[in-house]
Structure 1
């Protein structure tokens, strides 16, 4: 009988530990443009922000909306950068001053001053039960 209890306890502990890393992030990206490819990068710290992604995803806009999913995330703070690849070259194009010329956005509608926002400005929490987030792409500047 004790062995059965021990086995049950170990199974519950294993499942609980796994559940702590099974949060899903569902991201809705909105754009004034009806179609195009959206590319999204997910970051988990200030030191990795805009340098090294935790995950990335892409999807096509349909009627101005793309739904992307980031499954099995550890609960914690994350930030997102996203852009609409209007010309299909798989990079965020900028003008001669380095300002994005394609629609883009950061989580929490974060804006930078003389550059991109900080991780702290864009950070949002993903809880153990998951999170749904909506961001809207700006128009970019020519």
Structure 2
């Protein structure tokens, strides 16, 4: 009996220290009007984004140029998303001869970069212990 009481006391004390998790609901608009697959990559740091080391990946179908998805169980922090609409089904962002994208792409915060992708700070959105919703456009 004493062992059970000790366990319950320890569990009650540790409960406030348990990591809280939140969900990030993402809506993407202005995609192509034809059926396409939307690829999304979630990053939790500038280094991860620069090295293309996504914390999580999602793939959803775009319908009428829009899609929704949820990244679940995220700890509080800042996150950036980059995405593209795969219009021809080859699972990659196609580019022209000079390296400019020929398929629609976008970043959280509708961030834009100069001569390349935007920085993590430009695209980062805060997520606290509560769940959040964001929306951004493809271009």
Q: Residues of 2 paired with 1:127 and 1:30: CA distance?
A: 24
Aligned counterparts of 1:110 and 1:43: Cα–Cα separation in 2: 14
Measure how far apart 1:11 and its partner are: 3.9
Structure-2 change in CA distance of 1:64 and 1:16 (3 Å): farther
TM (normalized to structure 2)?
0.87
Query: 1:27 & 1:40 partners in 2: Cα distance?
Result: 10
Tell me the CA shift for residue 6 of structure 1.
6.4
Q: RMSD of aligned C-alpha atoms? A: 2.1
Query: In the alignment, is residue 103 of structure 1 matched against residue 104 of structure 2?
Result: yes
Query: Runs of 5+ in structure 1 lacking a partner?
Result: none
Listed one character per residue, the Cα deviations across residues 33-81 of structure 1 (whole Å, up to 9, x for unaligned) are 2331100000000101041000010101122211111110111001000
Relative distance call for 1:12 and 1:66 in structure 2 (3 A) is: farther
- Where does 1:1-142 land on structure 2 (aligned, <5 Å)? 4=5, 7=8, 10-11=11-12, 13-14=14-15, 17-18=18-19, 20=20, 22-34=21-33, 35-50=35-50, 51-138=52-139
User: Structure 2: 5+ residue runs without aligned partners?
Assistant: none
Q: TM-score, length-normalised on structure 1?
A: 0.85
